[in-house]
Amino acid sequence: MAGQVNPDLAKERENASFNTQKLTNLLYGGAEKVRRRRYIESLAFSDPAYSGDEDPVFMSREELYSSQLKRALTTVQRVKELNITEEDLSTYRNAALSGGMPGLALTWIAFIPTILQQGTEEQKQKWLKPAQDLSIVGAYAQTEMGHGTFVRGLETTATYDPSTQEFVIHSPTLTSTKWWPGGLGKTSNYATVMAQLYTQGKCYGPHNFMVQIRSLEDHTPCPGVTLGDIGPKMEGNANDNGFARFDHVRIPRENMLMKFARVEPDGTYVQPASSKLAYSNMVYLRGTFVMSAAQALASASTIAVRYSCVRRQSEMKPGEPEPQILDYQTQQYKLFPQLAAAYAFWFAARFMTQQHASITGSMEKGDMSGLAELHALSAGLKSYTTAVMSAGIDVCRMSCGGHGYSHASGLPALFSTGTSLCTAEGENTVMMLQTARYLVKCFVQSQSGKTLSGTVAYLSAVQPSPVSGERNMSDLGTQVTAFQHRAARMVRHAALQMQTEMQKGKSREDAWNSCSVLLIKAAQAHVHSFVVRNFAETVQTVEVEESVRAVLTSLCQLYSLHGITEHAGDFLMDGYLTGRDIDAASSLLSAVLAQLRPDAVALVDAFDLHDKMLHSVLGRYDGRVYEHLYQWAQKSPLNKTEVHESYYKYLQPFLKSNRAKL
Amino acid sequence: MSSAKRTEMNPDLQKERDGASFNPYSLTCLLHAGEENVERKRELERLAFDDPELQHEDLSFLSRDERYTLGLKKTIRFLNKCWDLDITGIQDVNTYRRAVFRGMLEPLSVHYGMFLPTLLSQATEAQQDKWFSQALNYAIIGTYAQTEMGHGTFLRGLETTATYDPKTEEFVLHSPTLSSAKWWPGGLGKSSNHALVLAQLYTQGQCYGMHPFIVQLRSTEDHTPLPGITIGDIGPKFGFDEVDNGFLMMDHVRIPRENMLMKHSQVLPDGTYVKPRNSKLAYGTMMLVRSYIVSDAAQSLCRACTVAVRYSCVRRQSEIKPGAPEPQVLDYQTQQYKLFPLLSAAYAFYFASHYMMDTYFQLSGNISQGDLSQLPEIHALSAGLKAFTTAVMSSGIDTCRMACGGHGYSHASGLPLLFANATPACTYEGENTVMFLQTARYLVKCYGASKTNEKLSGTVAYLSRVQTAAVSGKGARDLLDLEELVGAYQHRAARLVGMAANQLQAHTKAGKSPEDAWNSCSVQLVKCAQAHCHFFVVRNFVDTVRTADVDPASRAVLTTLCQLYAIHGIIQNSGDFLEDTYLTGQELQQVNSHLASLLAKVRPDAVALVDAFDIPDEILQSVLGRYDGNVYENLYEWAKKSPLNKSQVHESYHKYLRPFLQQNRAKL
């Protein structure tokens, strides 16, 4: 198993039309950042404390849980020893914990940020340090067995008792059981618990409370607290997603996180000063989802594209050698749109990060004007990108044929992990409807003469009639305009449909529900048009050498032409595009597929995903797939013995008795 | 999932059932071809469910090793019961099998699915005497070793060789390269002691292509691999945990000449190769297998819909109106839009599989009388339908899972496992894209034939009536009319086939070789094959709704479902109908309003429509989809059994967490 690269892959790399490194630098924001990221990752990859474990797919749930817990604890130690800075922290952790997120990580991901955002100065003093040093381990307990996305529906109660100055945390029903929070089942000894606040006989809605759930001495559950793991899931089984029930558990008044709302010792509720900060945090969090979607799709494309150059199959022409399967147009049609979407989402995520930073600046100066627009965009983008990613990984898996189905490909685990983002942090349909609500509002405002700006400005410019005449369908500007027209028309159509339903006597809520399929589609079209426009602008304005710009331009064309042909009906419906335009788009699409073919491997290489992050025998950088597939299989637990023990127990007596009967 | 905490039914589900407009039992009888079959099915299911030897822990809590072992145990129990109780007949055996395995897969399914049938169809009588009765009685266990590490769907690319040595009258079976290792066959890794190995036959210095050879793999005494045989499990997969899909490498393994299956071609003792008489019989087996896959696709989709629809009536979420109680999530139009089209597809595919089975048996009759005329048409249809139905099923299960929110992601829902076990149908027995292209090849050929005025018949007859121009000025069309809908799908399919064929011609005329032209048009070709299958499924659904022997209430709800299936397909593929203005934008808007009313119309019958599939809880294996709807109590009970909950404090706390936390606290 020499370190040679598979000759087919080597040839692909030699023939690329651009310098991969330049594109990598563009994706990660400069050569220095790429170098830094590789260095930090190498610290984890070369660390013997993390090596030696089996492939997670060979482990039982319990082994996996323990192994990742151990790794997580090691990272905490290493972060101190190596002086890993705040900036490099997530890179380091991702590299060290690439086998799956442990329950312990929720302390960093959710528990500490909640204290930071919602705790008073005193509360931060009290809990932040212990949490950061991991002398306490925390979970964020919001969702309940019967309640998810709709936070106001939560049933857990926190009732204030002024006589002892305590809150009584209680789970009144089975459905109020906290369910799903990561790290809650076995790992955490603290949790921030979201509960309906009752004081002076009145309910003030959901608030966060700090509750100790396990003894710091022996880790047994505290009195009145029932805890456990919620059982195995599709993926994420290193994480002890848990349940918690509270039976009149008393906590001091000071354990309510009171940066915003407060309860005075006598039980008086003090309303929070209107805070839009929560929205801003949500915008940020959703931005990270968009980046995760881009990265997951980048990983899946990397695996599938590389393997498609190593794998040879069938014959195109009788007698000739079997071609690389990436030479088949149908294979390109499956994979290149995923590859293009990975780039498109990567740039969309970057836009979100920049906008969030700029809006945080404005908000500090008291200017909240851009928040609503960005919030609506972030909801829709989260939904759109995670949905495309989830389906896209599955396409990549199936495009790898039988081997894609093996855990050796890494794709089943990548899918199972990635798909959870469609439901987590706001279910995708609910997210899309949030965006739709904003769009309809904007449309109505524009009808009454208001000028819209930013990402929704185009809504005021709906062209009611089609633009006739010849079009150059390969022109990015033409494509962007087409997507905007489609979105504007669909928003308008959904809004008018709602009005019609209401005129027929339906309540606003019923009208909304009966138009919600149209509303979702309108919001999707809006987000789609944003992604296309942002991709096109990036390609046109980014500072990069021409060969890189050229390949990015092809990718961008592919992304939008694929979108146009997949949704042809939306463009044809009002005659904005003609049947002939769609035909032209189809032919151009075929041409762009062929054009991208020689650059496909370089385009996935540019994502710069290390083999230790990919976890895929099929997607290895060196393309030595078959030898490693064979080696990997040897490690299967069923191969521990030549003859499996079940043979002696079941098969041998059965076969013998059957032979005797003959 | 047997320990129900409450026995009474969830009131929301009870209300749904009371409110249905039809009796689900009459649809159950239609789906299972008669009341007698339904009763027999239930009897056999009971037999398996009540069997104390077949009780076990929930699969999600078992390791791969335990699941494989359980699979073997169940297989043996199943076979013994079939023999003892004389359960014979393909339908009874399959029903009983499903009830025994309950969503689990079978380690030895290749033995009865491929090993036995291949012996039957390709072994001489002498060979059958020697092998078949041993195999039938499970004195030997066989697998079918075809695919290799480097070669799948394309059989001619296989590398394993069988070289004839006339001196000893033996074949030498050999794996010349790593990529020639047999890879994937079910039961090969650990269970089987024999295999039918597909290998390139070499004799007298010449290669004669793929032939099947019987190779003994393991000792019948102690099950150890025989000399020259390297064998093992290929490792864990997305699903199929109970199956020991295996690898096999052979190092010059010698087998007697008589171990080549010689019913068709032969190698004589001196090494002379005798060519087979032209045989199209192999197509028959392939069609049967594909028909089974269509039927399985329908049933997997039925299971997913049952889970998601029932749970969506139990689950309440958010508020449609401020202050009003949280509605059942099935009241949201968006939820209906996710689930009802899949529910209608499940019915559509069920009926399509009925058609395929009936046609297969009728065709087998014709073939045995020497009439092969219909074979290419039905063969092409079966390839496309296999791909069409499995693709919709696979993404459909995923949609159902996501429609169940967070809980769908838990193994308690049963949906992750259902998906993982069902999705490989898109790849095995012919990868879906390759299947569509087979169908497309036939369609293009038919289209060409129709151009030379040859008359087409059967499922492709419509291709000779391609309407090149749009039907304009027809006045107001009723797009809920079933004939109108069939007409639209027919037009779309015919147009797309014509377009792909013309494009192919244009590429050839521009100087491309036929192969390159084919490749450059293949995206269009796949789309035309999909449109053809879609049309067939719609037409067959309409025919069934019209002719089925059911009461008017059942026919009414089936008609609604059928309309929904067709209308939804038009919206999803609207560009295909608008492109040549066969439908106008205005008509498409009507179609959109029809969709909204059809969703609302299906809503009160949704639970009864999934109940009609008659899938018992034991087979459904889903806490969310329980018939009684007591989801939350049982979700809690299920979670308590999680292996991580064996102790209050997990052992890793003592090993890792405690020392770490204490050390950190000491530093404070």
pLDDT tens for A140-151 read 999 999 998 788
**What are the two backbone dihedrals, phi and then psi, of residue A205, each rounded to the nearest 5 degrees?**
85, 180
What local confidence, expressed as pLDDT, does residue A2 receive? 47
Confidence of residue A282 (pLDDT cuts 50, 70, 90): confident
Q: Kindly indicate whether the domain formed by B141-276 is annotated with CATH number 2.60.40.1220.
A: no
| CB–CB contact A228 B640 (8 Å) | yes
What local confidence, expressed as pLDDT, does residue B156 receive? 83
User: Residues of A annotated in the binding site, as ranges?
Assistant: 143, 182
Query: From the candidates B154, B653, B662, which should be mutated to test the interface with A, based on the most A CB atoms within 10 A?
Result: B653
Instruction: Please name the member of B426, B513, B585 whose beta carbon is closest to the beta carbon of A574.
Output: B585
Average predicted confidence (pLDDT) for chain B: 93
* Dist. CA B369–CA A370, nearest whole Å: 77
**Does residue A233 belong to the interface with chain B, where contact is any CB pair within 8 Å?**
yes
* Dist. CA A335–CA A395, nearest whole Å: 8
Q: Quote the crossing angle between the two packed helices A20-28 and A546-566, to the nearest 10°.
A: 70
| CB–CB contact B154 A652 (8 Å) | no
* pLDDT tens-place string over residues B427-448: 998 999 999 999 999 999 999 9
| CB–CB contact A186 B244 (8 Å) | no
Distance from CA of B190 to the nearest CA of A (A): 7
| CB–CB contact A636 B235 (8 Å) | yes
**Does residue A576 belong to the interface with chain B, where contact is any CB pair within 8 Å?**
no
Residues of chain A with C-beta less than 8 angstroms from the C-beta of B247: 630, 633
Residues of chain A with C-beta less than 8 angstroms from the C-beta of B224: 642-643
The yes-or-no verdict on residue B6 having pLDDT over 70 is no
**Does residue A581 belong to the interface with chain B, where contact is any CB pair within 8 Å?**
no
Average pLDDT over residues A566-582: 95
- Assess contact for B138 and B416: CB atoms under 8 A: no
Size of interface A-B (CB pairs under 8 A): 387
Instruction: Please name the member of B524, B595, B665 whose beta carbon is closest to the beta carbon of A135.
Output: B665
| CB–CB contact A646 B69 (8 Å) | yes
**Does residue A135 belong to the interface with chain B, where contact is any CB pair within 8 Å?**
yes
* Dist. CA A518–CA A499, nearest whole Å: 13
- Assess contact for A486 and A573: CB atoms under 8 A: no
Residues of chain A with C-beta less than 8 angstroms from the C-beta of B592: 518
The yes-or-no verdict on residue B198 having pLDDT over 60 is yes
Residues of chain A with C-beta less than 8 angstroms from the C-beta of B209: none
How many other CB atoms are there within 10 angstroms of residue A468's CB atom?
Answer: 9
Nearest CA in chain A to B503: A587
- Assess contact for A170 and A159: CB atoms under 8 A: yes
Average predicted confidence (pLDDT) for chain A: 94
What local confidence, expressed as pLDDT, does residue A500 receive? 96
What local confidence, expressed as pLDDT, does residue B3 receive? 43
What local confidence, expressed as pLDDT, does residue A53 receive? 67
* Dist. CA A257–CA A254, nearest whole Å: 8
Q: Quote the crossing angle between the two packed helices B64-85 and B90-101, to the nearest 10°.
A: 140
The yes-or-no verdict on residue A464 having pLDDT over 60 is no
Quickly list DSSP for B606-654.
HHHHHHTT---HHHH--STT-TT--HHHHHHHHHHTSGGGSSSS-HHII
* B397 Rama class: left (phi>0) / alpha (psi -120 to 50) / beta: alpha
Interior angle at CA A301, CA A338 and CA B527, nearest 5: 45
Instruction: Please name the member of B406, B595, B664 whose beta carbon is closest to the beta carbon of A133.
Output: B664
Q: How many helices (H) and strands (E) does chain B have?
A: 26, 11
What local confidence, expressed as pLDDT, does residue B457 receive? 85
Q: Percent of chain B at pLDDT above 70?
A: 96
Interior angle at CA B345, CA B344 and CA B350, nearest 5: 100
Higher pLDDT, B154 or A571: A571
Q: Which class does domain A112-270 fall in? A: mainly beta
Active-site amino acid positions of B: 429
| CB–CB contact B235 A408 (8 Å) | yes
What local confidence, expressed as pLDDT, does residue B5 receive? 45
Among A606, A482, A620, A590, CA closest to A551? A606
Q: Percent of chain B at pLDDT above 90?
A: 84
Residues of chain B with C-beta less than 8 angstroms from the C-beta of A185: 644-645
Higher pLDDT, A573 or A360: A573
Confidence of residue B470 (pLDDT cuts 50, 70, 90): low
**Does residue A501 belong to the interface with chain B, where contact is any CB pair within 8 Å?**
no
* pLDDT tens-place string over residues A177-206: 999 999 999 999 999 999 999 999 999 999
Nearest CA in chain B to A657: B139
* pLDDT tens-place string over residues A591-629: 999 999 999 999 999 999 999 999 999 999 999 999 999
* Dist. CA A377–CA B43, nearest whole Å: 56
| CB–CB contact B157 A314 (8 Å) | yes
What local confidence, expressed as pLDDT, does residue A133 receive? 84
Confidence of residue A451 (pLDDT cuts 50, 70, 90): confident
Confidence of residue B4 (pLDDT cuts 50, 70, 90): very low
- Assess contact for A560 and A532: CB atoms under 8 A: yes
User: Residues of A annotated in the binding site for FAD, as ranges?
Assistant: 143, 182
The yes-or-no verdict on residue B281 having pLDDT over 70 is no
| CB–CB contact A650 B655 (8 Å) | no
| CB–CB contact A627 B178 (8 Å) | yes
Q: In terms of C-beta density within 10 A (0-12 exposed, 13-18 middle, 19 or more buried), how is residue A469 classed?
A: exposed
Distance from CA of B661 to the nearest CA of A (A): 5
The model carries a pTM of 0.96
| CB–CB contact A419 B398 (8 Å) | yes
| CB–CB contact B642 A232 (8 Å) | yes
Interface of A with B in 607-646 (CB under 8 A): 626-627, 629-630, 632-639, 642-646
Distance from CA of B648 to the nearest CA of A (A): 7
Higher pLDDT, B78 or A448: B78
B89 carries a ligand binding annotation: no
Average pLDDT over residues A97-118: 92
Distance from CA of A548 to the nearest CA of B (A): 26
Instruction: Please name the member of A129, A590, A652 whose beta carbon is closest to the beta carbon of B523.
Output: A590
Instruction: Please name the member of B134, B149, B599 whose beta carbon is closest to the beta carbon of A662.
Output: B134
Interface of A with B in 255-314 (CB under 8 A): 311-314
Among B313, B642, B404, CA closest to A243? B642
Confidence of residue B256 (pLDDT cuts 50, 70, 90): very high
Confidence of residue B247 (pLDDT cuts 50, 70, 90): very high
* Dist. CA A78–CA A55, nearest whole Å: 22
| CB–CB contact B650 A65 (8 Å) | yes
Instruction: Quote the ipTM score.
Output: 0.95
The strand pair at A242-246 and A178-179 is best described as antiparallel
Nearest CA in chain A to B637: A230
Q: Kindly indicate whether the domain formed by B284-466+477-611 is annotated with CATH number 1.20.140.10.
A: yes
| CB–CB contact B398 A174 (8 Å) | no
Instruction: Please name the member of B235, B395, B579 whose beta carbon is closest to the beta carbon of A582.
Output: B579
Residues of chain B with C-beta less than 8 angstroms from the C-beta of A651: 72, 76, 141, 191, 223
Distance from CA of A607 to the nearest CA of B (A): 26
The yes-or-no verdict on residue B2 having pLDDT over 50 is no
What local confidence, expressed as pLDDT, does residue A415 receive? 98
Would the CATH topology of A112-270 be identical to that of A279-450+475-604? no
* Dist. CA A104–CA A119, nearest whole Å: 21
The yes-or-no verdict on residue B221 having pLDDT over 50 is yes
Write down the domain spans for chain A. Answer: 112-270, 279-450+475-604
Q: Kindly indicate whether the domain formed by A279-450+475-604 is annotated with CATH number 1.20.140.10.
A: yes
| Residue B514, C-beta contacts closer than 8 angstroms, at least 6 positions apart | B508
Active-site amino acid positions of A: 425
The yes-or-no verdict on residue A1 having pLDDT over 70 is no
Give me the amino acid identity at A369: S
Write down the domain spans for chain B. Answer: 29-104, 141-276, 284-466+477-611
Running DSSP on this structure, what letter comes out for residue A53?
A: P
The yes-or-no verdict on residue B415 having pLDDT over 70 is yes
Distance from CA of B650 to the nearest CA of A (A): 7
| CB–CB contact A66 B133 (8 Å) | no
Average pLDDT over residues B372-392: 93
Residues of chain B with C-beta less than 8 angstroms from the C-beta of A408: 235
What local confidence, expressed as pLDDT, does residue A336 receive? 98
* pLDDT tens-place string over residues A506-562: 999 999 999 999 999 999 999 999 999 999 999 999 999 999 999 999 999 999 999
Instruction: Please name the member of B156, B639, B668 whose beta carbon is closest to the beta carbon of A243.
Output: B639
Structure tokens at A371: 């928040």
* pLDDT tens-place string over residues B333-376: 999 999 999 999 999 999 999 999 999 888 888 877 878 888 88
Distance from CA of A362 to the nearest CA of B (A): 33
Helix (H) or strand (E) holding B212: strand B206-216
Q: What is the CATH topology of the domain spanning B29-104?
A: Butyryl-Coa Dehydrogenase, subunit A; domain 1 (1.10.540)
Average pLDDT over residues B133-139: 95
* Dist. CA B143–CA B109, nearest whole Å: 9
